A and B are shown apart, each in its own frame.
Chain A
Amino acid sequence: MEFRKDLFQNERDDNLNVVGKGVQRQDMPGHVTGRSPFFDDHAFEGLLHLKVVRSPHHHARIRRIDISAAERAPGVKRILRGADVPVNKNTLLSLINFGKDDEPSLAVDKVRYKGEPIVAIIAESEAQALAARALVRVEYEPLPAVFDVEEALKPGAPVVNDTYPGNCFEYHEKYDHQKLRFGDVERGFAMADHIVEDRYQMSPIEHAPTETNGSIAAPEQNDRFVVHSCAQGLFFSLGTAAKIVNLDSNRLHFIGGTVGGGFGGKVDSLTEPLAVLGAMMTGRPVRYVLDREEEMLHGGPRGAERIYIKDGIARDGRILARHIRSYFDAGAYTRLSSYAAIKCTAHLPGPYTIPNVTSDIYVAYTNRCPSTAMRGFGITAVDFALEVHMDKGAEACGLDPVEFRILNAYRDGDMKAHRRVAKNTALIECVQVAAEKARWPLSEEAQRQSSLTGGGGARAEIPATPIDENGRINRPETRGGRPTQTLPAGTMRVPMTKQPIMEGSTENRPSAPSVPQYEPYRPATAAPPPPPPPVPASRSAAPPPPAAPPVPPPAGPAPASQHGAHRFSSVFGTRRR
C-alpha cells in the first residue's frame, strides 16, 4: 500500500499511530481458534427452535390459515400468528420518526412478496419445527403482482403496500419523491452544444453474509430477556424488538457486536422480535436462525435502481446542466430504501461542479423482497451510472475522458447542488494519481490542476432556481388520475434538442484531442434567467441554509410529526465536515 503524503499535507496530521500500520486486531485470536462468540455460539438449557412458514406467492390474499395439525405435531411448544405480535407493523426508521409503519412481523391478510413470513413454529428441535411447518395449511388467493418500478407508479398498477397506496414512499408527508433543484437545467440544456441522455439499470444484490441472520432470546433474571443478536446496529435492533413486542427497552438485554459479515444486511432486525416474543410466550430460550434460502428470500438485498441521466455539455467540455431521474426498488415494504434515496440525492450530481442540476428520485414499491442497506447504498449504483455517463459525455465532445473529469471536477469552495460549500475535495488529485498509475497520458495543463485552487468565487454562488410543486402529495393538479399514482408532468423528459449519443458509437465524430481548454471558469448561469423565482439568498459559504438539503426551500413549517425526518436529512447533510 502506498500513502501519498505529498497531497494535502497541511490538512492532515501524519503523525498517526494506527493508520498505515499493520496493527493486530484484538478479535483475531478468537477468530483463529474458533472462539469468537457469534450470536449462535451460546449454549442454553431447554433451547427451543423457531421456524417460519413463508409465502410461496409474490402477491396474494390469505384466505385461511390452518395450524391445527401443526399444533399437534411432536415437540411443538407454541405457534405464533400475526395476532400474537403486539405491534405487528413496523418500519425500521420509525425509531427516528421517519416513515410510516408498514411491514408486519407475520403477515395477516395479504402477502406481498415471495418469502414473507406468515406463521412461526416453536418446537423442541429444529427437525420437529420443520416437520410441523410442513403441516401448516395456508389458503391463498393469488393477486396480480408488479415487479417493475415504473410500472408500479403507473395508474392502475396493483397496490403493493396499502400504507402507500400510490406505490411510492412519501417524503415529509409532502412529496412523492426526493427533489433536488439547483439553477435552471432547461436553460442549461438550451445553451448546450451536446445533449447526452441514457438509461441505466442496476440489479438487486444480496449481501450473502457467511453467517445468516439470526438470534437467540432467553428469559433472564430481573424480568428481562437476554438476546444474542447478529445485528449490525445493536441498539436499532433493541429498539425495534422492544417496539414490536411492546416491552420497555430496559427489559431487553442485547448482546452482540461479533457479526459474521453484515454489509448492511443485518440492520433490519429480521429475527430478534419473534425470538423475543417466542421467549416471552414460552418462558424458554428461543433460537431463530434463517437458513440460506430464507436469507435470500427474506433478508433484503441492495435495492435495484433504474436511473435516467441527461447532460447538457458545452463544446469546450463543461457540463452546463444535469438532470437525473431515478427509481429505487423498495420491494414490498420500507426497510431502508427511503433513506437510500436521500443519500442518493445528497450525492448528486456526483463530484462535479455543474451550475444547473435537477433530480427526482422515487422510491417505488414492488412485489419483491424489501430492499435495505448495503455498502454505500444509494450512492454506488448512481455513481456507476454517472461515471459511465461521464465517459459518454467525453465522447460526445471529443475529449479525453480523464481530462473531461478533471475539467468538471469540484474544487474547494465550490457550491454543491444541495447548497453546501465543498470542502476537502480531492477528485482532481485522485484522478491524477489514477492516471499516473494507469500510465494514462495527461496534459501538463491537467497535471497542474488542483482541488485547492480555482474553486469558489462565481462557482460558490447559488444560482436562481425555478422550483416546482410536481409530485406534491394530495394535490390533484400535479398528478391527475388517482392520487399518487402518476408520474408528475414536470418530471417528463424534455424532447431532445440534439442528436442522441448512442452507446459505443464513435462514427462521424472528431477523434478526441488530448487537451481540453482550461479557461478561467465562467458559470453558464452567471446571468440570472428571466423571471427569477424565489431563490435562497444565502451566498456565504459557512452556515448552510436551514432546510433539509435534498428538499427545495421549505414551503412552510414542517408538521410536528416530521421532526425526525428533517433531523435525519440534516444529520446526513452535515456529515462530511
Chain B
Amino acid sequence: MPLALRVAQSLSEAAGILAADPRVTLLSGGTLVMRDVNEGRLTDGTLLRVTDPAWRQMQVSGSRIELGAAVTMAAILANRELAFLHAAARAVGGPAIRNMATIGGNLFAGTPYGDFAVALLALDAQVMVLAGYGSARAVPLEEFLAGRARGESRLVAGIQFNRPVAPGDFRFLKVSRVKPKGLSVLSIAAHLPGSGSRIGQARVAYGAMAPLPFRARGVERALEGKALDAAGIAAARAAALEGVQPVTDAIASDWYRREVLPVHLGRLLAERG
C-alpha cells in the first residue's frame, strides 16, 4: 500500500502515534525522509507530520539554551544570540536545504551527514525525548546516539545545552571537497573552556570519523590543563586518532580521513579564539 499521512497537533500526540505503530515515520524537515519516498525506499506505512509550534521554539537569551527539534539551520543562522553555532549551521547543505533541515533530523542523519550533531555533542547537549504520551526526559546526546544506533525510535522534542562562556571557547570546522557546499570529509567541534589560558573539561567531537558522531576522549584528556600553545596542540594532535573508525565512501577513503584529521584538528585548535 502506498504511504498514508497523519498530522499530529501536539508533540505528545505525535509521540503516542510513534510509540504505537512501528510503521510510522516522523517527518521533520523532510530532507532525508522525502528522498526515501521519492526513490521508493519508503513505500509502506505512514508519514507523520507535527504542527505543534513548540517544536520550532527557541529559548536563547539566558545561559541555558533550549531549541525545539524542528528548528531549522536557517533559523539558527538568523539568530544573533546563536552566533557561535553559525559555522555549524552553515555547514549543512546549500541555502534551500538549510531552510528545511532541522536539528532534530540532523541527530538521525547517517554519516557523512550529521554535522550539526557533532557541534551539539561538543556542547554536552541534552536531548529532550518523548517516548509515548507523557513529559519529556533529558538524555545526554552521546547516550541518545548510541540508542539510535540500536534502532530505538523516539520523538525528540528539543535540545538543551549551556552557552559557552567565551565565544572563542567554541569552534567548529567542516572539511569538504566541494565548496561552499559539500559533504563532510570530516567535521570537528571543540568546546574549550578556558581557551584563553588553561583548558579545563574540553569537549571535542568528530563527524564522519566513525559510523556515528563521537567524542574524541583522547584529545580531551590531552588538552586537560594545557594552554593552546604549540605543546598543547601537539599533544592533542598526537591523540587525534584514538578510537576513530572512519568509513571509505564516495567522498574520501578511510586512509585519507585518518591522514588529514590531525592536521585539521591542529588548525582548529590554533585558531585565535
Q: Using a CB–CB distance below 8 Å, which chain A residues touch chain B?
A: 51, 74-75, 125, 127-128, 130-131, 133-134, 291, 293
Q: Find the A residue at minimum CB distance from B3.
A: A127
Q: Find the B residue at minimum CB distance from A51.
A: B40
Q: When A127-B3, A128-B2, A131-B2 are in contact, do A291 and B43 touch as well, CB less than 8 Å? A: no
Inside 8 A of B43's CB, which chain A residues have their CB?
127, 130-131, 133-134
* Subset of 14 A-B contacts with CB under 8 Å: A51-B40, A74-B2, A125-B2, A127-B3, A130-B39, A130-B43, A131-B1, A131-B2, A131-B40, A131-B43, A131-B44, A134-B40, A134-B43, A134-B44
Q: When A291-B38, A291-B39, A293-B39 are in contact, do A127 and B2 touch as well, CB less than 8 Å? A: yes
Tell me how far the C-beta of B45 lies from the nearest C-beta in chain A, rounded to whole angstroms. Answer: 11
The digit string for B35-51, where 1 denotes a CB below 8 A from any CB of A, is: 00111100110000000
Complex alpha-carbon distance, A131 and B45, angstroms: 11
Inside 8 A of A133's CB, which chain B residues have their CB?
40, 43
Inside 8 A of A293's CB, which chain B residues have their CB?
39
Complex alpha-carbon distance, A255 and B254, angstroms: 48
| A-B contact sample (6 more), CB < 8 A, given A74-B2, A127-B37, A130-B39 | A125-B2, A130-B2, A130-B43, A131-B2, A131-B44, A134-B40
Question: B interface, by DSSP: helix, strand, loop or mixed?
Answer: loop
In the complex, the 6 A-B pairs of residues with the closest C-beta atoms, listed nearest first: A130-B40, A131-B43, A127-B2, A131-B2, A134-B43, A130-B43
Inside 8 A of B40's CB, which chain A residues have their CB?
51, 130-131, 133-134
Tell me how far the C-beta of B31 lies from the nearest C-beta in chain A, rounded to whole angstroms. Answer: 15
Q: Find the B residue at minimum CB distance from A135.
A: B43
Complex alpha-carbon distance, A127 and B2, angstroms: 6
Inside 8 A of B1's CB, which chain A residues have their CB?
74, 131
B34-88 residues at the A interface, CB under 8 angstroms: 37-40, 43-44
Inside 8 A of A75's CB, which chain B residues have their CB?
2
Inside 8 A of B2's CB, which chain A residues have their CB?
74-75, 125, 127-128, 130-131
Inside 8 A of A127's CB, which chain B residues have their CB?
2-3, 37, 43
Q: Find the A residue at minimum CB distance from B40.
A: A130
Inside 8 A of A131's CB, which chain B residues have their CB?
1-3, 40, 43-44
Complex alpha-carbon distance, A128 and B3, angstroms: 9
Q: Find the B residue at minimum CB distance from A131.
A: B43
Complex alpha-carbon distance, A134 and B40, angstroms: 8
B190-236 residues at the A interface, CB under 8 angstroms: none
Tell me how far the C-beta of A208 lies from the nearest C-beta in chain B, rounded to whole angstroms. Answer: 13
Tell me how far the C-beta of A190 lies from the nearest C-beta in chain B, rounded to whole angstroms. Answer: 44
Complex alpha-carbon distance, A51 and B40, angstroms: 10
Most chain A CB within 10 A, of B2, B3, B38, is at B2
Complex alpha-carbon distance, A130 and B3, angstroms: 11
Tell me how far the C-beta of A292 lies from the nearest C-beta in chain B, rounded to whole angstroms. Answer: 8
Complex alpha-carbon distance, A248 and B88, angstroms: 60
Complex alpha-carbon distance, A125 and B38, angstroms: 12
Most chain B CB within 10 A, of A75, A131, A293, is at A131
Q: Find the B residue at minimum CB distance from A129.
A: B40
